[in-house]
Structure 1
């Protein structure tokens, strides 16, 4: 389908607006909307800013006012057709008198889908599929959650140029720069959950909190981000420890009061650990990871930020459960030590996991690489 230049330009703006909702809309999608008046001039813009708040179409229509009548609305996701915490956006568009609606991606959620059909039935011209790839990318976490019934997974690691994540003696602080670490905290803060394995907890005793603001002056290393997010109603990322045998020490920092924590253990383990426990089936290689992601999705965890050691990462990669890879590579060499990725189900070169680069950016003295698997089941092509 050849897309008219005007449609592409206005939908690109709607995609840009949608991106502003990252990290604050979960468990809702990020959505952007641009409304033109009958003369083709921009009359209103909006994006979904937070769960429970007005949807993108409602914000844009309010800005446009009467100018929306006879105009066109560009929306990155099919307007919802149900009443949840807010009313149906399809009806809002009809009430505003919009004559045409251009949609990027159809809504895969059966509870909310149907907006396009309602609009067409009421005489509104509807065009679908405009910049679907771009709109799908900006909303990929929620689309994975809605289509596959599991959380979207981003695996992050930091390594030297020769692929080592720790030295021979196990030390790893710090391979990458303060700038790279600050970028990691920004990505953590935009996620619903931060996941690590028991090996990382025992070796490093991490807090697994999102701290994109400077550390506290008292030297505790904890900035004010947790307090700010709680005060503004934006939920703090859930910390998840994958701990098949229930070995998490009661004194572990991941169990402090800085954020909620879930410890996933095997269903055949007895433990006195005072924590929120999630019991999962045990497999030969560890816990049932698809079941973990399904349970997290049931708790409205849309996006997971996977950190920690090579063993857990290898299990996620080997089972096709990683949707995006974010790698921070330092211009340094170790020559020996722990590799960033452990066994991932590859026995011969023909089985290697192929990825495509989305972005390559300098972060301080380091380089950040963002890539994703070349095949991702459950996504529209």
Structure 2
């Protein structure tokens, strides 16, 4: 127990002296900390800061967020990716208004009941904003604790996370927020995945991996399954006024978001997307291959061939059949100001901006 207490004391002292000056560290408001923690999932801190500031300015409290249209919330999230996070924020805000009269819940279990909040995020909010004695174990913490103890357990496995969580729970000091943030900060700045800066580490004197010279071998982690690559074809149907966009299904990849028409490619270049579009439009201009682009998701890589269909002088007709209600022509202004377009598609606009 003494080793854990010394670890916690050294870590908290180091964090209080060396923590980065981040906007969400200037408040104990659980709403603001909740927003920052959700944004920090799958996003680097330096990247999320301007989004965080803009989001808080647009939606300064739970009631404002709950009252907003989902499309406005998604637009404010545009560029961060993993849009289910924004959808869950919106759902959770409505839940807080309904079940907690607009006050962010002060109980750990109630925080965990919010959409999109798991043990790590819930623990971070509960400890940082509310001072509750709850751990918050993410990838950084798994790495720090397994290195500190020189554990060879696979951190990709559930039992290892449970073991680390129990260790952190036992080490929690009277200021759990600073301790949990300190763990994350140590993992982000010092105890990095490769080439950790051990000589700057506040807990190195008691670190078992440092003493054993095994910091580069710990933690142990099972290699991820290789991402599946899919050849895709994308259609950009546009003219000087705007472009056609398509609402994606409510389940699956990028569910419920806007995209350009896209389908998996077959052996004949351009044939798949043309056949796909012919089910939607009665007349099509000739397809022009504009270029290639790749987009990487967590488990899939899209290798996209981009085909342009220049609509100037061509009456393609209204969308038909199953596409009638989810395919619309939007102006360039509305696309920029009102439509949330995932990065996988927004980055394709560079192929046609000069051709409008």
TM-score (norm 1): 0.23
Which structure shows the bigger proportion of residues in strand conformation?
1
Q: Based on CA coordinates, which of the two structures has the bigger radius of gyration?
A: 2
